[in-house]
């Protein structure tokens, strides 16, 4: 299953340069990397990145993250994927800009 991480462009550039990352400041503070499912990602963007441009959408394959990935109850009683180790560049299946158009983040069409 594809799971998604939203990063600021500078965080993505650091991941690419260093080959791994402890994530965004909220990830470091919480002790794990926050991911969302495809269905959860638009709400995550609206709640945590409202009005923020210059974002990157990072996709990972949940099965490849094995026991380091835990599904835990969070916002609204939903289970969210949390990665309990650094995010590695090798974990990234694809990455692309997440544009902000008229105040709404535009997710790729056909993302499932």
> What is the per-residue pLDDT across 22-59, written as a single tens digit (0 to 9) for each?
999 999 999 999 999 999 999 999 999 999 999 999 99
CATH pick for 2-98 out of 3.60.20.10, 3.40.50.720, 3.20.170.20, 2.40.110.10: 3.20.170.20
Nearest-angstrom CA–CA distance, 83 and 12: 17
Interatomic CA distance for residues 89 and 91, integer angstroms:
5
What pTM did the predictor assign?
0.94
Helix %, strand %, coil % of the chain (to 5) = 35, 40, 30
Q: Where are the domains of the chain?
A: 2-98
């Amino acid at each position: 299953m594809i799971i998604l991480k939203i990063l600021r462009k500078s965080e993505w550039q650091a991941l690419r340069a260093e080959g791994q990352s402890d994530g965004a400041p909220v990830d470091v503070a919480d002790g794990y990397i926050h991911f969302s499912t495809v269905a959860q990602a638009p709400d995550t963007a609206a709640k945590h990145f409202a009005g923020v441009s210059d974002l990157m959408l990072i996709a990972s394959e949940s099965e490849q993250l094995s026991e380091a990935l835990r599904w835990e109850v969070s916002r609204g009683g939903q289970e969210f994927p949390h990665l309990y180790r650094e995010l590695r560049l090798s974990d990234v299946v694809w990455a692309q800009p997440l544009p902000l158009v008229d105040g709404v983040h535009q997710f790729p069409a056909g993302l499932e």
